[in-house]
Structure 1
Amino acid sequence: MYAHLVIFIGSFIAFSLVLFLITKKNKKKPDVYLALFLFSIGLFQVLHYLRVEGIMKEYLPHMLRVRFLIHGFTGALFFSYISESLGLSITKVRKALIYLPAFIGAIFVVPYLLQSADFKREWEFSEFTPIAYYINYLIARGTLLLYCLLAWNAIQKKRNNLRKETHQWLAFVTAACFFSGLITSAITFVDFVIYDFVSYHWLHLSSTVLVILIAAKAIRDGHLSQQLVADSKPKSYQSSSLSEEQASDILSRLDAVMEQQQLFLQSKLTLPETAKILNESPHNVSQSLNQYRSIKFNDYVNQWRLERLIQHLEKGELEFKTLLGIAMECGFNSKSSFNLAFKKYKGMSPTQFLKSMPEKKVA
């Protein structure tokens, strides 16, 4: 009974967040994908509840096992949310490939769904579960874990271009989703070896905990207004014709140029110079950073410099060079600008950061 109550609460929270996202004014693509991700979890929970309570068997037999179609898309929807939040450039073909495993998994379930209601009632609560459903589950959970790992890798690559709060939010959601998927995968494996219907309650409870964690984190840190809901266009850009797709393309090319040509190493790098390399106007580059990443150009460049500096520190280069010397090599032009940038984005002074590092790296 308590398990059912928790599952009901999880579904209610998931659908509440979905309603909040889809009714938002000026919603963005990440909002839509996050809403679909949460909706798939909530619907999966509801269908499970109706099944174990016998309601589906009695009144909705044709809906039996439909949930197996739904959970296959959870991982793909989650990765779509992360990729859109990061502004990753993904072709239409690759977007289609992201959802391919879900459709492959559905193939194993469709034959069952085409059977009669009496057939479904007989099989649904028998002790025999066709191997096709375990294959479907394996594909669904396997792709979820894989997409979580890919999302985590993408987040870490983009971390120096994200606000600290944004990075923490995306990393938290990805980690929570991964461990939830890991738990459900373990439960499914145990159930395959030793059949025990009660274990499925724990499977759905882990999904409920995932939803509760997402909601709690969003409410506590204010992500309901900052991350889950994208702000409308600032007044200074109301007359701008720059679209979200154009801004995403500019930011992707800007990241690539910074990484490949290492422009941030130039201490006198300016916005006009960078915009010229991208063949874009300085205004469009500035707007893309301000509106879609909430960061100014100079701060964006300094984040790249700080990441490079930390890489040098982790390699133990303080043994041969001074901290200021390394900072200058990374593109900073003065001690004061370096100290200000470091404290702004790392939340501590360079000295405090060095004390927090392992001794062998700063010896």
Structure 2
Amino acid sequence: MDKFSVLGIITLVIVFIALLLAVFLFTVKTKNKISNRLMGVYFIIFAVHISVFFYAKYIELPLVIDMLRDQIMFLSSPLLFLYVLSSVYSDFKLQPKHLLHLIPFVIEILIYVPNFYAVSEEERRIFTDNFHSNPEVKFSTLYGSIVSIVYLVLIFQTLKKYKLLLLESYSDSNKFNYKWLYQLTLLLSFIFIFSTSKQIYKYVGNDIEVLNMLRILLTLLLLGFLSWIVLKSMYYPELFRSIDTKHLLVRNLIETSSIKQDPADKFVEQIEKLQNYMETEEPYLDSSLTIHKLANQMNLPFRDMSILINHHIGKHFFDFINEYRIKKAITLLENPLNKKLTILEILYDVGFNSKSPFNTAFKKHTGYTPSQYRKNIS
């Protein structure tokens, strides 16, 4: 079996999985319809673009159709960016302004109009036969890399803001999809780097065997990527949860709030009141506690509570709440009457939902894991 046959078989599997995922995303019943459909379209484009490694050996498409199949990938980065936005913000809606993300694709088409789309079929054939030597193709490769990099930067910036908003407003960030989106972007970044390296070799290298091997490795990477997504959807069917676009970072709240003009004594008084409430009422035992809930319980505006904790106390809400949870856990561990309580029972009792974040927070505050701490005091 030659390398092209291997490449074709791997590609066929990739196309099948991608289209299957697209069908699933379009038909599954969920609240995240927009994000699912955006990702579904992304997988369809992905399947159409890569299908050349399978059908090229058996079918010769019209040159214009084959060129559009290749250029359609310029829609993938904008789609991924919109998918991330729709996954992060629960009130995200597609609007006319989002049509601006078609610009990279339109520019790519325009690059090829003079010497490909606007010429005769015979001239297109000559263009295709000398494809990689054409200046349009070289420019397009560079342009495509720039577009991908710009959108990856935009996605990472969005995720950075998302993470900060979670830390400032929620006590249990594991219910949200930040980790999934971050892992997805990292994997796609790695695939982009590998794909770019292959493209560079296509222009500077002269060994077709090496190029075919790089193509096989790339398709295997893509197959692994899709398999990872399938496993994620199987293990975490309720993975996705988002926040409202009205959420603002504390620095933005301070800029738009009059609270910064209040006397310092007011903040000292509010901090003491908050600390007393945390000690006596123990609201942190609620695993779903948010800064909105805490503000409502204390009859304080959300903005004031957010600025008070995240700015004046100087801790993210996430860390502020977890400190109280860890103190409570330490109290339970040190009580001889609680020797029969398991670590799992204790973490649930103090407001955590799973072992991993509990162990991380406990070690951050004490330098030991819960098991090590219990062993040291026994």
**197 and 87 in structure 1: CA distance in 2 versus 1, 3 angstrom threshold:** farther
**304 and 100 in structure 1: CA distance in 2 versus 1, 3 angstrom threshold:** farther
What letter matches 2:202 in structure 1?
D
Q: CA deviation at 1:211?
A: 4.9
Aligned partner (choices 100, 103, 106) of residue 103 of structure 2: 100
User: Could you report, residue by residue, the CA deviation over 1:82-132 in whole angstroms, capped at 9, with x for unpaired residues?
Assistant: 111111869957634433223222211234134333333343244653121
Q: Which residue does 1:256 correspond to in 2?
A: 249
**341 and 146 in structure 1: CA distance in 2 versus 1, 3 angstrom threshold:** farther
TM-score (ref. length: structure 2): 0.63
Q: Which residue does 1:63 correspond to in 2?
A: 65
Indicate yes or no: 2:148 matched with 1:123.
no
Moved more, 40-49 or 263-272: 263-272
Aligned partner (choices 1, 25, 29) of residue 25 of structure 1: 29
Q: Which residue does 1:157 correspond to in 2?
A: 161
**196 and 224 in structure 1: CA distance in 2 versus 1, 3 angstrom threshold:** farther
Q: CA deviation at 1:164?
A: 5.6
Aligned partner (choices 28, 40, 49) of residue 45 of structure 2: 40
User: Could you report, residue by residue, the CA deviation over 1:238-264 in whole angstroms, capped at 9, with x for unpaired residues?
Assistant: xxxxxxxxx96xx22234358635999
**125 and 271 in structure 1: CA distance in 2 versus 1, 3 angstrom threshold:** farther
Partner Cα distance (1:100, 1:204) in 2: 31
Q: 1:37 touches 1:77 (CA, 8 Å); kept in 2? A: yes
Partner Cα distance (2:151, 2:317) in 1: 27
Partner Cα distance (2:121, 2:190) in 1: 36
Moved more, 256-265 or 69-78: 256-265
Q: 2:22 touches 2:44 (CA, 8 Å); kept in 1? A: yes
Partner Cα distance (1:42, 1:165) in 2: 29
TM-score (ref. length: structure 1): 0.65
Q: CA deviation at 1:191?
A: 1.7
What letter matches 1:66 in structure 2?
L
Q: Which residue does 1:180 correspond to in 2?
A: 191
Indicate yes or no: 2:182 matched with 1:171.
yes
Aligned CA-pair RMSD:
4.5
Unaligned runs of 5+ in 1: 232-246, 279-297, 313-325, 358-363
Q: CA deviation at 1:166?
A: 2.0
Unaligned runs of 5+ in 2: 167-172, 260-269, 278-293, 331-346, 370-378
Q: Which residue does 1:287 correspond to in 2?
A: none
Partner Cα distance (1:277, 1:174) in 2: 32
Q: CA deviation at 1:79?
A: 0.9
Moved more, 252-261 or 161-170: 252-261
Aligned residue pairs: how many?
299
Question: SS state of the match for residue 29, structure 2?
Answer: coil
**276 and 350 in structure 1: CA distance in 2 versus 1, 3 angstrom threshold:** closer
Q: Which residue does 1:79 correspond to in 2?
A: 81
What letter matches 2:191 in structure 1?
S
Q: Which has the larger radius of gyration?
A: 2
Q: Which residue does 2:295 correspond to in 1?
A: 270
Partner Cα distance (1:217, 1:28) in 2: 18
Moved more, 252-261 or 173-182: 252-261
